[in-house]
């Protein structure tokens, strides 16, 4: 895969609240390591990063501002100068200036990771697709939790995760892996540095 140098890494709802037992069993236990690797690569390449923080308006939500869970997880804590967008719904584009920020920077491509795959990640990616953005979702840098349907059947987190990604792939995003994204960033950085050397050469 190829990524333009202005591709935005969009980290969705990676906050301590997601560790609350209320969510139930999850999949992808190593997702935080993948997220940290992506964030490190973006910082090293000086590519744009946007952290999406969920500010829940539900009184009992672990994502509610003022609660311990509202803080960013250590693996995804914003560095000074990195953009933070606060949302109160599933989509990072609703009630925020995210679309305006992306348009102002001329950004057309997003790599979206975080939680939950079937909730805010999928909602944000679908919205991004409807707005005309090109999106990629590294499947090992996001996770789902088990879900109970209307009949009472409990669907395992891995199944929920896989079906959510299947619904995104093709129409709204390209589902990929962290390794593939990191390789693309390395290639993009190499081409950019080569171009800069040619421009500054005597």
| pLDDT tens digits, 101-120 | 999 999 999 999 999 999 99
Q: What is the structure's pLDDT at 201? A: 62
Q: Tell whether the torsion through CA atoms of 160, 166, 171 and 173 is positive or negative.
A: positive
Per-domain residue ranges of the chain: 8-200
Cα separation, 85 vs 101, whole angstroms = 10
192 burial level (CB within 10 Å; 0-12, 13-18, 19+)? middle
Q: Which fold has domain 8-200?
A: Rossmann fold (3.40.50)
Cα separation, 63 vs 55, whole angstroms = 6
Is the distance from CB of 119 to CB of 90 less than 8 angstroms? yes
Cα separation, 107 vs 120, whole angstroms = 21
Task: List C-alpha distances in Å: 156 to 72, 80, 160, 171.
Answer: 26, 38, 6, 25
Cα separation, 38 vs 139, whole angstroms = 12
How many CB atoms neighbour CB 199 within 10 A? 7
Q: Which of 134, 128, 164 is nearest to 27 (CA)?
A: 164
Overall pTM surpassing 0.85 (yes/no): yes
* DSSP letter (8 states) at residue 159: H
- Helix, strand, or coil here: 145? strand
List CB contacts of 142: < 8 A, sequence separation 6 or more.
Answer: 12, 28, 31, 112, 113, 114, 115, 116, 117, 121, 161
Tokens coding 88: 């109160």
Q: How many residues does the chain have?
A: 202
| pLDDT tens digits, 49-104 | 999 999 999 999 999 999 999 999 999 999 999 999 999 999 999 999 999 999 99
The DSSP annotation for 60-72 comes to T-TTSTTSGGGSB
Q: Is the pLDDT of residue 194 over 90?
A: no
């Amino acid at each position: 895969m190829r990524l333009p140098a202005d591709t935005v890494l969009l980290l969705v709802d990676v906050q301590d609240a997601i560790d609350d037992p209320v969510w139930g069993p999850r999949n992808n236990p190593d997702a935080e390591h993948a997220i940290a690797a992506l964030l490190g690569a973006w910082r090293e390449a000086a590519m744009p990063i946007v952290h999406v923080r969920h500010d829940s308006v539900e009184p009992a939500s672990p994502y509610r501002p003022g609660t311990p869970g509202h803080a960013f997880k250590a693996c995804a804590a914003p560095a000074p100068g990195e953009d933070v967008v606060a949302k109160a719904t599933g989509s990072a584009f609703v009630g925020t200036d995210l679309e305006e920020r992306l348009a102002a920077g001329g950004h057309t491509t997003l790599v979206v990771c975080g939680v939950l795959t079937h909730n805010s990640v999928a909602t944000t990616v679908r919205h991004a697709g409807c707005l005309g953005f090109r999106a990629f979702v590294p499947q090992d840098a996001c996770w789902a939790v088990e879900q109970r349907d209307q009949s009472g059947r409990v669907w395992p987190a891995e199944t929920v995760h896989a079906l959510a990604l299947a619904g995104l792939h093709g129409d709204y995003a390209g589902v990929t892996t962290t390794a593939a994204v990191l390789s693309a960033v390395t290639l993009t950085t190499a081409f950019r540095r080569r171009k800069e050397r040619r421009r500054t050469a005597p």
